Amino acid sequence: MSGLFPFIAWLIIFLVITIVLFITKKRGQLNDKYSQAPNLLLFIVCGGILMASWAAYCLNRSKNESFNGIIQKAVYEKPKQIPTITIKGIDYNLGYLNYTDYDTIVAGDIAIKEKGTFEFRLIKGNRKFE
């Protein structure tokens, strides 16, 4: 939960600013002395911070994962995309790892990733896992 705290905090700030801007615009409380440019800039900055904190959270989570074992299942949402693999009953999304040939991953291969790195090693296996 502690890793999610910055993301949740920025999400709440982003939502509060969005709601306040929507309410003031809806009620016609934006005077001529207030330009919409600072409001839009604030909206964009908060949105950027929100996306950056989410990316940092995902990278940190991916970096702290470790697995070593035979791939039981490799699920591709679309062909030639990054798969979600299952090792020892646990699903791992490989989206943030340093690997280029994602479309070659199949069940029966051996996947190795050490904690603290983004390096992913794949050892092709000739046996099938069912």
- What is the rounded distance in angstroms from the CA atom of residue 105 to the CA atom of residue 72? 11
Q: pLDDT value at position 33?
A: 52
Residue of 42, 41, 35, 56 lying closest to 14 (CA atoms): 42
- The residue among 23 and 43 whose pLDDT is bigger is 43
For the stretch 65-90, what's the b/e string if a residue is b when 16 or more beta carbons lie within 10 angstroms of its beta carbon? bebeebbbebeeeeeeebbebbbeee
The pTM for the full model equals: 0.60
pLDDT band at 2 (very low <50, low <70, confident <90, very high): very low
Q: pLDDT value at position 88?
A: 92
Share of the chain above pLDDT 90, in %: 13
Residue spans per domain, the chain: 5-63, 67-123
- What is the rounded distance in angstroms from the CA atom of residue 100 to the CA atom of residue 77? 17
- What is the rounded distance in angstroms from the CA atom of residue 11 to the CA atom of residue 91? 26
DSSP 102: G
Whether pLDDT at 48 is above 60: yes
Residue of 114, 101, 102 lying closest to 75 (CA atoms): 102
Q: pLDDT value at position 37?
A: 64
- Residues 91-101 pLDDT 10s: 988 877 777 77
Average pLDDT for 42-52: 80
- Residues 4-41 pLDDT 10s: 666 677 778 778 877 777 766 655 555 555 566 666 77
- How far does Cα 38 stand from its chain's mean position? 29
Share of the chain above pLDDT 70, in %: 78
- H helices within the chain, ranges in order? 5-26, 36-63
Joined together, the tokens standing for residue 30 give 């934006």
